[in-house]
């Protein structure tokens, strides 16, 4: 694409090994302050449960903190796992955030539980976890509560989501499958594709193209809008970038195999002996990442923008240390020509 890249941030609030979750949360605030100055457009917070590597269990609370410590960058969820919650409660949380921080709040919603099955059950107890087939109904209800336009015959049509301010968030549907893309297209919502999941790299562009092809214009979004999330680690040299990204790779493996104890140090990652199946997993996972020195990263991001036909990318950077994370975002901003705040 000939368009200049439009870059944002997705922060999963990683917990470094040897640090506390509280420190990880404070790192999130510090990173948000730093990337706003660099010219990134959005700062989205992830939701994870029962995941020792990630401290972000409540994006709506973190959104308020990040918005309070920054001035103009859009802040949102990447995303709220709607199946755990009441559509009305989510609508009220984000209407309240919009009342406090007008024209700055995004609401990204996802189908995935962001947890294992037993944790999902605990989040719903004493009720039952909502079946995935109910997700489309929840999304429609959420939009109805946000915009005060539930169907007249809806059971909750007499309820208004507070507070009574006109401001509402931009709602994005998040996902990596056709189901989420199709729903976003039908509802006239922006779609954020999770390329960084690394589970469907080959079909990703087809999912996004299908979304664009079947998009139904809405009043707020007359044209389809696509964001693609990408794992990136950038350093002054390729060798250093790969050294830092090894922490992310091993942390991902440990998270999926029940051994997570925080994001490992580069030294811990370098000394770990991978079994054959583990190495194959890491190789596949890393194939969706963009790691290297600045020019390599720029070329990799340009290639992804071309692949998905969108200049709108979100950068997900996980390293053990906060200084290395901030430096990675600095180098990416510089090589991609972002305009820093004065």
pLDDT (tens digit, 9 = 90+) per residue, 172-200?
Answer: 999 999 999 999 999 999 999 999 987 66
C-alpha–C-alpha distance, residues 239 and 272, integer Å? 18
Once rounded to an integer, what is the mean pLDDT over residues 310-323? 98
**Domain 6-335 adopts which CATH fold?**
TIM Barrel (3.20.20)
Looking at per-residue pLDDT, the higher value among 124 and 99 belongs to 99
Once rounded to an integer, what is the mean pLDDT over residues 209-235? 98
Residue 200: per-residue pLDDT: 61
Characterize the bridge pairing of strands 226-234 and 6-11.
unpaired
Across the chain, mean pLDDT equals 93
Q: Any idea where the domains of the chain sit in the sequence? A: 6-335
Taken as a whole, the chain contains a residue count of 342
C-alpha–C-alpha distance, residues 303 and 230, integer Å? 12
> Is 0.75 topped by the overall pTM?
yes
Q: Write the CA distances from 318 to 34, 69, 122, integer angstroms.
A: 15, 21, 28
Residue 202 in this model has a pLDDT that exceeds 80: no
Residue 113 in this model has a pLDDT that exceeds 80: no
Cα dihedral sign for 142, 143, 146, 151? negative
- Residues paired with residue 234 on neighbouring β-strands, in sequence order: 292
Q: What is the pLDDT of residues 15-51, one digit of tens each?
A: 999 999 999 999 999 999 999 999 999 999 999 998 9
Torsion angle of alpha carbons 157, 163, 166, 168, nearest 10°? Answer: -80
CB within 8 A of 316, min separation 6: which ones?
A: 9, 10, 11, 12, 196, 229, 230, 231, 232
- Residues paired with residue 74 on neighbouring β-strands, in sequence order: 42
Residue 115: per-residue pLDDT: 58
C-alpha–C-alpha distance, residues 190 and 174, integer Å? 9
Residue 189 near residue 175 (C-beta atoms within 8 A): no
Q: What are phi and psi of 190, to 5 degrees?
A: -65, 155
């Amino acid at each position: 694409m000939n368009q200049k890249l439009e870059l944002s941030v997705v922060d999963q609030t990683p917990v470094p090994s040897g640090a506390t979750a509280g420190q990880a949360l404070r790192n999130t605030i510090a990173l948000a302050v730093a990337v706003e100055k660099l010219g990134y457009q959005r700062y989205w917070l992830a939701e994870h449960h029962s995941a020792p590597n990630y401290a972000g269990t409540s994006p709506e609370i973190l959104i308020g903190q990040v918005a309070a410590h920054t001035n103009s960058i859009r802040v949102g969820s990447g995303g709220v796992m709607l199946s755990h919650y009441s559509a009305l409660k989510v609508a009220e949380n984000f209407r309240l955030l919009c009342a406090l921080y007008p024209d700055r709040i995004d609401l990204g919603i996802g189908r995935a539980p962001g947890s294992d099955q037993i944790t999902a059950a605990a989040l719903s107890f004493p009720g039952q976890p909502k079946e995935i087939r109910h997700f489309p109904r929840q999304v429609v209800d959420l939009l109805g509560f946000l915009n005060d336009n539930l169907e007249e015959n809806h059971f909750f049509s007499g309820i208004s989501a507070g507070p009574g301010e006109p401001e509402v968030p931009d709602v994005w549907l998040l996902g990596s499958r056709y189901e989420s893309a199709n729903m976003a297209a039908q509802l006239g919502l922006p779609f954020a594709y999770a390329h960084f999941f690394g589970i469907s790299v080959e079909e990703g562009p087809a999912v996004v193209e299908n979304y664009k092809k079947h998009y139904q214009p809405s009043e707020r979004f007359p044209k389809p809008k696509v964001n693609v999330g990408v794992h990136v680690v950038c350093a002054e040299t390729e060798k250093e970038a790969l050294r830092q990204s090894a922490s992310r790779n091993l942390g991902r493996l440990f998270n999926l195999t029940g051994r997570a104890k925080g994001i490992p140090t580069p030294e811990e990652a370098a000394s770990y002996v991978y079994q054959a199946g583990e190495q194959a997993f890491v190789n596949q996972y890393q194939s969706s990442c963009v790691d290297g020195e600045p020019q390599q990263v720029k070329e990799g991001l340009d290639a992804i923008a071309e692949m998905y036909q969108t200049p709108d990318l979100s950068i997900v950077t996980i390293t053990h240390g906060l200084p290395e994370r901030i430096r990675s975002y600095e180098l990416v901003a510089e090589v991609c020509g972002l305009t820093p705040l004065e």
